[in-house]
Structure formats: C-alpha cells, structure tokens
Structure 1
Amino acid sequence: MTPDTDRGRGILSPADRAYLLGEADMEHEQSKRNAEARIRGRITDAILDFGILVHHLKKKDRRQVFDTDDERFMDGLTAMLSFAYIGMRESGGEFGHALEPAVRKAEEVHAADMLGQAVSVDVQFDVETEVETAVDDVAVAIDAGKPVTPAELFSVMVGSDVLEDVDEVTLQLSDEADEDGLLKEDEFVAHVADYLDAELRWLPYNRVKVLVET
C-alpha cells in the first residue's frame, strides 16, 4: 500500500511526508536539516498532546476515532507502537516502564466507567529475542545475490544503508504463510516494493526478485 502524502495534516504535513518518502527535492543541506528539525519538534509536541487527549477528549470523540475498519488505521497503530518501542530502546529507555502504567491506568478507568467497579490490574510486559541472522551476514548474502527471507530483508531495511547500492534482492518465501505475523509474506513483499519503488519478478521455487530502481 503506497503511503498517501495528500492526507490532511496530522503529526506530519503533506510536505513532511513527501520529504521523508524522498518525493521532495531539497537542494541545500540546510533545508534538509530545517525539515528534519521541524519534524522532530512536531513529533515531540504530538506526544505531549496525548496528555491532553487522554484526559480531555470526549469519550464519544475517542470512540469515533477507533470505530473504523480501515486497515491503514490498524497499520498506523502498529507503526506508532513500533516507533515508540524502537525510540525508547535506542535511547536506553524501557518500553515497559511506559506501557505497563498506561495499560494499568486505562483498565482501572475503563472498569470504573463501564462497570462501576474498582479493579486490581496486573500488567507484565516481557520480550524475548533470539538472534537468527546477523545483519552483516544478510548484507553479504544480498551482495552475493543469494536469497534472503523477508525477515532478514526487514532487518537491513531499518537503520541500515545496506540497500543503498543494491539493484536487486531475491526473497525466499516460506512454503506456508505465517498467519501469526503482522503481515502475510505476499503483503510484506508488496510493501517492500512500494517502499523501495521496486518492481517484482516472481520466480519458481517460491522466490521473488525485487528489482530496485537506482
């Protein structure tokens, strides 16, 4: 799904979206730095605004915001949480220190408001990660033209310049779709093609070649 840069202004203005998506030409480095500083400021101000929203936005308005079956909205919520998680992790913060009291307070307020009851809430946030493939190994495989999995490709798409000088990437898809993932593999491939402005060439043996325009 291609991002819609012409939506109304949210945290980002249409011009901000165009800049981040590489659709706006800025000849001067100072212009780029100004745009990035403006975006950082808007993100910070938006986060602070949630303190007002959670306490002062009317319940009917909050419900109308979330009463939607638009898949883009759920994708946006997932991306919002991912952004917060990555940002806190990179800065040395603990995501659970923000998540646990937020969920606890929300459950207490919900129970009092909807059920007329006081509740005790136990929230536990636990993440276990297991390194499967190092980013450097993925980079070597891509450079050698060897197939990589969607998860391996994703690992080098975030915070890495591995794909900057790559013309094509071959993806090895699994024989069975992972229904537990946020995206099915074919949906992930479509998102990758949009993100990289690439063409797809489907190959035998459950492989797909991503042709990146340079």
Structure 2
Amino acid sequence: MNELSGQTALVTGGTAGIGLESARLLARHGATVIITGRSADRGAAAVAEIGAGVRFVAADLSDLESVKALVRQCGEVDIVVNNAASFPGALTVDQDVSSFESTFDTNVRGAYFLVAALAPGMLRRGHGSIVNVTSMVAFKGVPGASSYSASKAALESLTRTWAAEFSPHGVRVNSVAPGPTATAGVAAEWGDVNDELGKALPLGRTAQAAEIAEAVLFLASPRSSFITGSTLHADGGGAAA
C-alpha cells in the first residue's frame, strides 16, 4: 500500500467528488497529497476527512495569479492530477460568453499553465506522472455540453502533446475519461440528466467517484509504467456504445 511513498501528488479540485476520492486513494498508497480548491472550509473538511499526509492550498485555476501562487506553495511535485473543472450546462445557442470563458479558463488554461510551471522540475528529476481528468463527452456528442465537451477535448489533445514533449525525459502523461459520475457538483448542475446518461450506458448506471479514482491511481502509479499518451475510458462502456 506504500507504492507512492516519498512522492508528492497535487490534486486540483480535490475537495469533493473525483478529486477528493483520488486524493484519498493516493494518500492511502503512501503519497504526500496537496489538494486545491476555492473554498477554505471545504478544504479543511477534506483534510480532516482524509487525515495525515494531506494538506490544502486554496487556489482558483481560472486565475493565473492564483495558479502562480499555488506553484510557489507546492514546491516539487511528482504527480499532478488535473481534475478541477467548470461544467455549465447550456445549449450552444443559449451559451453566454462569460460562462464559456470561465469554463476554458479553469479546464484548459489553468491546467496548461500549472503543468507548464511544474513540468520543468519533473523533467529535471527524470520522473513524474500527469493525469488529466477529461470526460466521455470529449468523444461523444451530448446536447447541452458544448463548452464543457470542447474544453475536455482540448485537454485530451494536451495529453498527447505533453506525452510527446515530456515522456522522452521520463514523465508520463495520460487521461482518465469518466462517464457520468454521481457527485454533488454534477447533480447540482445537471440534475436528472446525469442519471439518464448513466442508464443509457452498457453498464446501465452512473459511476461512483471512488471508481474513477481507481483509474487515476493506476495511471499515477508505477503500475502503468509503460503507458503514456493514452486515455483510460472509465465510462461504463460509453465509448463503445
């Protein structure tokens, strides 16, 4: 259970849902974990829930100054889990500019410049793993998810580009593309739509956040030592149907 001992993992959006469960699992397997989020109260609650080996750093990934401050507070990082996300639901004809921009600021720009700042240390040390949490909708059309799906498709493209740039120096980059997952954040934004998407999958249900966290752990850990530039579709068969 200590396969990640001596490693530091940064999980963005780590105070709830997939991020919280990923942080919990990484800590359980020996990593020192830094979780980020915008709410100090939720951060404190997450740290108390997970226990030793975890600390919280407040950060807003849509704000580049906040990203820079996060990098300064993190120090050297061995594992980055880009999980923080904005996921507004709106049909394309109803999408407002502000919501579109905030989605890309968090889901793409924030992740991009966070990795740009942390990757040099990984490259210098000759090891590291970056896991981008994307989405089934990056590959499959879902009405009302246009800005979110486009942002996650952009992150999928970065997975492949970063793998090409970083992997010759020992840093692996992969994606986990979850299907509909039962989290409080998704329920608040999408309501019953998420459950209906789950019922339409070959497995006939939504995922639990802890199930997606297992995929994150696999790609973050030495278990996937010969995998880079790949996407693990943890989507209940959504990519196949």
Give me the TM-score of the superposition, normalised by structure 2.
0.26
Q: Which has the higher strand share?
A: 2
Give me the TM-score of the superposition, normalised by structure 1.
0.28
Structure whose alpha-carbon radius of gyration is higher = 1
